[in-house]
Structure formats: structure tokens, C-alpha cells
Amino acid sequence: MNQYEQPAETPELSSERLDTLLRALAAEPRRMIYTYLAEHDSATLTDLTDVVEGWTRARGRATDADNWDDTRTALHHRHLPVLDDAGIVRYDVAQQTATLAPLPPSTTQVLATIIDLEIDYGD
Amino acid sequence: MTVSTLLRRFESAEVAMTVYGPSEATAVVERLANQGIDATWRKLPTGEQDAFVVVRRDGVFAGTIPLTALQAFLCKPTVGSTDSGPPDSDPSRQLLSSALANTLLSSLTPAQLLATSHEFEDRAYRVGEGTLRVSFQSLSIFRSQRNRYETLARDTALDIHVYGRADWEPPTISGITFHPLTDEALEQVWLLAFDAAGDDQNKCALVAEETEDGPFRGLWTYNPRLVDEIMATVAAVDE
């Protein structure tokens, strides 16, 4: 891309917004949730718990103390609300379903870059 | 009760597996479906080494394992091919073995059945006492297993009973009783049951029935009550 092809339709993010996004993806379970939703758009809390539990173990990060119920609690009370507050995910607490929020291209680009970094180099 | 009615009871057992990973993971889903297991693939950019499987029994989370462990397990469902080998200690294999126990698998090969039989024979060897009942369809099939069973009978106090169609005159081996079958109840059946001399922790059984189109359908179990039932079913055959 040369200097005349800067994506005019992708406005830059404010530093405040960038901080929010980076904070939202600062925890591995939240990056896992985002990656899954980027692929499938929406999911139940149960499915997301399966994904985080399974993926964490597959990456060799789990300890014996980790268990499914604790992971579910952490998603429900911490990780999904953080993603919701950052405007990345809409978490319906009553239905216990999470849906990817409509995101501007600039945001999607930042999130995709973070996710790609982890998948390519994280292990 | 016959072995067929026993197997029919497990047709509705609910084991579901969800495979998360790249599109390469779909092959294993097909293999699971061939075994009559409810299996789903969900795309996830994990890379092949990090692909994983979530196992649910009756809707309840039972555990998660690397996809590579499931692939290895499908090739060889049980380990323990040597008489002195240690018991299966890998947690992924333990999870699969217990998740798939009591689950009717619809396409088992003789190699898979033999591997499972050997695991259970090894267990009987380690326990060293109790009753072991084995049916090889035909007594002549026993010939290929003769060395294993002579060792089992010689080194242990096991009471071993071998069943099969009477197409071969078995030798006299101390500790082994042969039961030539006169009715057809067990002729389609590959079966092994061990009561571990009453120790519920070590009871195990394998029951498989040859299907018309070739492979066996069957299950293995560590459920002591079910093992007792299988033992009784076999023992009743020549009463």
C-alpha cells in the first residue's frame, strides 16, 4: 500500500478507545471468546465455557485446580461483562448468550491483529 | 437374557463430542459418526496441534482432550499390549476410555477388540485371582491366544473359562475350562468378562457382536453391576 491508498473509510481510533480494546483483550479467555465469536457470531455461555476450558488445556495452560464450573463463573461474572463494556460483545445475562457486536472496520482490524499475533506466535 | 438384548439397552446412551479446530479436524468427526457417536465440528483457528475435543455425557461436561489424543485413541482404543505393561495412565486416554465405556460403538474392528481384550487380560493378570470368562466365537480362534492364556493360567490363581463353537479339540490346560457351545447364542459374540474376585474397582467386560456387514458392534464397561450381569449371562449359557 502506498501513501495515496491510506484507507480513508477507516478512521483512526482514539487513544482512549484503543486502551479500552487492549484492556478488553488483555486476558487470554477473552481473546478466545472473541476468536470464537468472530467465527460463529453468537454462542451460549455453556459453549463458550467449553471453548475456553478446552482451548486452555490444549495450550497446556490449565492447572489441575482449573475446572469447568470455575471457568463458567469467571466468564459469566468477569470476562463477558468486560467484553460487553468494551462494546465488542453483547452479553445477554438473562439468556446467557453472547453475540458479536457490530464493529467499525478499524476496531475489527485491531482485534484481528491481536488475535493473529497470538495464534501465530502464542505457542 | 441374551447378549443382543444386553447390547440393545445401550443404543440410546448419550455421548456427544464437539471437535474444535481447523477444517482438517473434520475427518475425525466422520470416524466418530461411523461409530454411532454424536459428533460435531466447530471451526476454530487453533492450529492443528491445539485442536481439541469436548466430551459430554448425557449433556453434562465430561472433559476435554487434545484432538491428537482422540485420533490416537480411535486407532487403538486401549493400551496395554504387554503382560507387564503399566496400566493406562494417560489422562486423555482415561477420559476417552471412561467416556466411551458403556457406549455402544457400531463399528469395531477385530484389531480394536483384540487390543481391548489384551488390556483386560493384563488387568486379570495383575489382580491374579477371580473368574475370567472369554468367548472367541470358535474354539479354534483360541489357538492364536494360547500362549497368553497358558501364561495367565500358570502365573495366577485365575479361574479361566473359554467358550466357543466346537470346531477344535482344545488341549488340557490346568486352570482353563473349555466350554464347547452347542447353541448359537454366543457364536456371533466376542466377549470377555472378569469379576476380579469381587473387587468392584477391577471388574471389566467387553461384549461385541458381529454384524451382517462385517464389523462388530459392542461396548466395554467398568461398571461392576453390568460386569456381574454379563458374567451371569455367559455362565448361564451351558447350564
Are A68 and B52 within 8 A, CB to CB?
no
Query: Would you call A58 an interface residue with chain B, using a CB distance cutoff of 8 Å?
Result: yes
Q: Residue A118 pLDDT more than 80? A: no
Residue B43, chain A, CB below 8 Å: the answer is: yes
Q: Which set of grid coordinates corresponds to residue B15? A: 455421548
* A103 within 8 A of A111, measured Cβ to Cβ: yes
Q: Please give the pLDDT value at position A43.
A: 97
Domains held by chain B: number? 2
Pair (B12, B44) in one structural domain: yes
Q: What is the CATH number of the domain that holds B228?
A: 3.30.870.10
Highest mean pLDDT among A67-71, A89-93, B200-204: A89-93
- How far is the first Cα of chain A from the last one, in angstroms, to the nearest whole number? 30
Cβ atoms of residues B196 and B202 within 8 Å: yes
Average pLDDT, chain A: 87
What string of DSSP letters covers A38-65?
A: HHHSEEEHHHHHHHHHHHHHHTT---TT
Please tell me whether residue B206 adopts helix, strand or coil conformation: strand
Q: How many CB atoms lie within 10 A of CB A109?
A: 14
Q: pLDDT band at residue A30, thresholds of 50, 70 and 90?
A: very high
State how far the Cα of B212 lies from the Cα of B89, in Å rounded to an integer: 36
For B48-59, write each residue's pLDDT tens digit.
889 999 999 888
Mark yes or no for CB contact B44/A36 under 8 Å: yes
Does the residue B1 lie in any domain? no
Mean pLDDT of B145-158: 94
> What are the residues whose beta carbons fall under 8 Å from the beta carbon of B212, sequence distance 6 or more?
none
Please indicate if any CB of chain A lies within 8 Å of the CB of B70. Answer: no
Among residues B100, B122, B137, the one where a domain terminates is B100
In a domain, B91, yes or no: yes
Residues B93, B109: one domain? no
Q: Three cell numbers at B210?
A: 458381529
pLDDT of residue A37: 97
Query: How much of chain A exceeds pLDDT 90, in percent?
Result: 63
Q: Give the closest of A39, A50, A123 to B54, CB-based.
A: A50
Average pLDDT over residues A81-92: 97
Q: What is the pLDDT of residue B132?
A: 97
Q: Do A58 and B42 touch (CB under 8 A)?
A: no
Mutation target vs A (from B41, B50, B55, B68; most A CBs, 10 A cutoff): B50
pLDDT in tens, A70-79: 999 999 999 9
Q: Which fold has domain A18-121?
A: Arc Repressor Mutant, subunit A (1.10.10)
Domain boundary at B44, B67, B100, which?
B100
> Does residue B142 form part of some domain?
yes
Q: How far is CA B197 from CA B51, B159, B188, in A?
A: 42, 10, 27
Looking at residue B239, its pLDDT comes to 65
Q: Which domain holds residue B147?
A: 104-238
Same domain for B134 and B220, yes or no, is: yes
Q: How many CA atoms, within 13 angstroms, populate the side-chain half-sphere of residue A34?
A: 33
With an 8 Å Cβ cutoff, is A68 touching chain B?
A: yes
Cross-chain Cβ contact A51/B20 below 8 Å = yes
pLDDT tens track for B76-113: 655 443 333 344 567 777 777 777 777 788 788 888 88
Q: Which of A39, A40, A57 sits opposite B64 (nearest CB)?
A: A57
A39 inside 8 A of chain B by CB? yes
Query: Residue A4's pLDDT is what?
Result: 53
Select from B73, B100, B127 the last residue of a domain.
B100
CA angle B206–B221–B58, rounded 5-degree value: 135
What residue spans of chain A are helical by DSSP H? 15-24, 28-40, 45-58, 68-74, 80-85, 105-121
Same-domain check for residues B53 and B125 = no
Q: Quick one: which of A83, A85, A86 has its CA closest to A42?
A: A83
- Decide if B20 and A53 are in contact by the 8 Å CB cutoff: no
Q: Which residues of A touch B64 (CB under 8 A)?
A: 50, 53-54, 57-58
Residue A39 to residue B45, Cβ atoms within 8 A: yes
Same domain (yes/no): B76, B109: no
Residue A5's pLDDT band, with cuts at 50, 70 and 90, is low
CA distance A26 to chain B (A): 19
Residue A95, number of CB atoms within 10 A of its CB: 10
What's the mean pLDDT when you consider all of chain B? Answer: 84
Q: How far apart are alpha carbons A78 and A112 in whole angstroms?
A: 22
Instruction: Provide the pLDDT confidence category of residue B203 given band limits of 50, 70 and 90.
Output: very high
| B26: CATH | 3.40.30
Q: Which residue of B has its CA nearest to A59?
A: B50
Is residue B44 less than 8 Å (CB to CB) from chain A? yes
Predicted pLDDT at B233: 85
B74 and B111 both lie in a single domain: no
Asked whether residue B142 carries a pLDDT value surpassing 70, the answer given is yes
Residue B89: its pLDDT value, please? Answer: 60
pLDDT of residue B166: 87
Distances (CA, A) of A89 to A37, A41, A77, A115, B3: 8, 10, 14, 15, 53
Q: Give A14 to chain B, closest Cα distance, Å.
A: 29
Of A16, A10, A52, A11, whose CA–CA distance to A31 is shortest?
A52
- Looking at the fold, whether B117 and B12 belong to one and the same domain comes out as no
The pLDDT tens digits for A32-81 are 999 999 999 999 999 999 999 999 988 887 765 568 999 999 999 999 99
B169-201, pLDDT tens digit by residue? 989 999 999 998 876 767 788 999 999 999 999
Burial (CB < 10 A; 0-12, 13-18, 19+), residue A101, is middle
Q: How far apart are CA B223 and CA B200, in angstroms?
A: 8
**Calculated CA dihedral for residues A23, A28, A33, A36, nearest 10 degrees:** 120
Q: What is the count of residue pairs from A and B with beta carbons less than 8 Å apart?
A: 47
For residue B2, is it within any domain?
no
Instruction: Give dist(CA B152, CA B149) in Å, integer.
Output: 5
pTM metric for this prediction: 0.69
